[in-house]
Amino acid sequence: MRRALGLTAASVAVPGLAHLRSGHRRLGAAFLAVFALLLVGLLVAALVLSKQDLLRISVQPRKLAVVMAGAAVLALWWMAVVVTSYLAVRPRRLSTWRRITAGGVVAVLCLVVAAPFLVASRYAYVQRDLVNSVFPEAAPEARAAAGGGTLAARDPWAGQSRVNVLLLGGDGGFDRYGVRTDSMTLASVDTHTGRTVLLSLPRNLQRAPMPPGPMRERFPNGFRDLLNEVYQYVHDHPDMAPGVKGNRGATVLKAAISEILGVPVDYFVLVNLYGFADIVNALGGVQIRITSPIVYGLHNDVLKQGLHRLSGSQALWYGRSRTDSDDYTRMGRQRCLLGAIARQADPLRVLFRFQQLASATKSVVSTDIPRSRVPDFVDLAALAKDAKVTSVQFVPPLIKTYRPDWALIRATAAQAIADSEAGPAGETGGGTAGGTAGARAPGTAASPPASPAPSGHGKPAAVPAPVSLDNVCQYS
């Protein structure tokens, strides 16, 4: 029995060995040939596929389905190797106790060889479910426009020099009605260099210009409430977004912020801040440098000054607390928190906490980035991770939130993007012609100026320079 179990165990590493030793040459040769092909395929994949290729595969549902099926088939195949290997070399006569012992050993070997493949299949299933749950299917015309061809392979952004994503933080909760977008930041990313500009607008911006259509007709002199109420207002009034499928509140808010900043807004990502703590916990916390004590909670707890690793709950309070501070200080902390998470979400940490992170993400994140675009964003994120990030906050004294100077806001946004494209010491950013701030995406017409007039008087205010996120947040 020992010899039989030994050959069976050896067949886990060299499939077909037990069959060859027992005289079942054809079956043994077949198992060995399949194993050799698997090794060759693995070697070729290791030589051909880069880390970035693997990341792209991880966000494509069809390829993940192939991984799921392939891993399951390999698990079954390897278990078949183990079982048939033992059957080929088992002794003819064994006592009942020895048969039970041998059967237990074979079962353990089956579990050992199948476990890695079943885990891989499970990970692929969870990831596929996450991608399908968070990212919507693109419309047929959008898929056709973004589809294959040599140009798309060379430049997936089809000559678009920048992609602008609106990052929204909502305050929706079980004990609150609706959602107010208390955090609104436009991330403008150079598609060639990854250099990023963060343009943050305050929640209490008043008289915001509305995009052409029902909203401007109803509010010709600007929205009657604070900017963070636009999202919920449109949800409560479907007639303000006729024909819009999906998240109409975010669609209209994208257009409104495009009017305010003077740049196109391509996509949005909305994170429910009350579920944001789950994402931070799934990542194992986030390290933040606190520059001054932050009072938070019902019991006036304090996040002390210094470099700390914050739990999900603490990170939420770090980004939400206004005790002894104001909206604008909070905006700065939110900006630092987003940057810290992006820096610290390394692949190994994500892998070990993957299922917890996927579950948290599905429940708190929504977006209009189509699934077909996600692999391109994976590549763009790799560029942006090590590129320079600058930011501008549109807060007092730069602007007056109760009477904003829209011309100054647009000029400041345009200058910040132009400076980012120029790079350090005048280095060009690699963008295509016409890719400066204020340029619309190809095929997108600029809307006419909004009705609310700029509030500046006399000489125009100087356009402030954007600041480096590294310098402001002191990550290290």
pLDDT in tens, 40-93: 999 999 999 998 899 899 999 999 999 999 999 999 999 999 999 988 888 877
Tens of pLDDT, residue by residue over 439-457, are 333 333 334 344 444 444 4
pLDDT of residue 195: 93
**How many CB atoms within 10 Å of residue 169?**
25
Distance CA 372, CA 61 (A): 10
Q: What number is the average pLDDT over the span 175-182?
A: 80
Tens of pLDDT, residue by residue over 254-299, are 999 999 999 999 999 998 877 778 888 888 888 898 888 888 877 7
Lowest average pLDDT, out of 195-204, 408-417, 439-448, goes to 439-448
Name residue 267's beta-bridge partners. 165
Q: What share of the chain is helix, strand, coil (3-state, %, to 5)?
A: 55, 10, 35
pLDDT of residue 320: 79
pLDDT of residue 347: 62
Query: Cis before residue 91, ω within 30 degrees of 0?
Result: no
Distance CA 189, CA 194 (A): 6
Domain chopping of the chain, boundaries = 2-134, 159-440+460-473
Instruction: Fill in the DSSP letter of residue 208.
Output: P
Q: What is the model's pTM? A: 0.78
Tokens 């304090």: give the residue.
302
Backbone angles phi, psi at 213, to 5 degrees: 125, -160
Which has the higher per-residue pLDDT, 361 or 402? 402
Superfamily in which the 159-440+460-473 domain is placed by CATH: LCP protein (3.40.630.190)
Tokens 């006592």: give the residue.
95
Percent of the chain scoring above 70 in pLDDT: 83
> Residue 436: pLDDT above 50?
no
